[in-house]
Structure 1
Amino acid sequence: MQITSRRWLLRERTAEAHAAVDAAIGGFHDLPSYGNYLRAIAAFRRPIEDRLNSVAWPEALLDWRPARVSEAIAADLADLGIRPDASRPQQVPLEGDSLFGTLYVLEGSALGARLLLARAESIGLSAGFGARHLALLGSNIDGWRGFLARLEQVEPFDLEMALEGSLATFHSARLAFGAT
């Protein structure tokens, strides 16, 4: 009997929500469209990262912690003279195994950040100006791998609760990017 990993189960069961976020992010081809992206990613990440400061971390995560990029996003906004969006997307669950689902989405963004960084560089931005957060996320593949290893090992584990966290996080991202 073949057992499918939790990562692949989450990936499979959130594929539609993930595609909706990718579509909501769309592309940026100039500084104004990149500015819209920055405002939205700040509105999405900052509230979650702020709440992570008060999370009771499960023992299964040991000393692993997610990448924090809100300060880099703030610096990117400042580089471009852009004011952050004051709106706050809906809250995501960070309790119990829902936390693993939320972290799955946040840490998984490291993979897409590499592609977005290449787009940002094509419009004159860099890891040192305007696209710091993408460079930080894109270089966090070890953090992603570390998270995945812990995700597979945690016991007991409620996949449905983790799925709820992932779907709520994807929904929050869609809202931040103006999609419903």
Structure 2
Amino acid sequence: METENFSKLLNEVVSNGKINFYYYSDPTSSNIELHHLAIPFPGELSPVDLPFRWHAEKPSEDLVDAVWNDETHSWVENSDKSHPALIAKLQANNEAIQKKMEIYEQDKIADAEKNDKLVQALTGVQKGQAQTTAVLAQLVPMVQQLSKSVNTSDETDKTNKEEGAE
């Protein structure tokens, strides 16, 4: 009798060209493909007639590793420990690290440019100090000579005054 029903249904599907998709979900399977497997089925099944773990609702495209949750009666993302979820997390972490590395490299280049400017400024200051020191080195003997000549002229004036006062 079941064979007759199946044949009848198959003939009806072939004549109408009607095929429905149902979705099988085995969350305990190590095969990720069995977490959300699309199954073409000729004809239409009522929710009561659906075999165990078959569902009429299609999983969302947003879900990486969709499994059926019997408590909520909906598709949910599998645990974070699934391979696709771990890969997605690792890719997100990798992208974040890449961005941080790019920012670090840009900051490193900016710091190097600032350091070059500081080195140039310090080199200019050192050259200025060296020039000032050289000028002072030339001026010191002249100042000493002037100081001696002033002291000598003061002593001569003093001596002249003392001699003139007598």
- Normalized against structure 1, the TM-score is what? 0.19
| Greater per-residue helix proportion | 1
- Normalized against structure 2, the TM-score is what? 0.21
| Greater per-residue strand proportion | 2
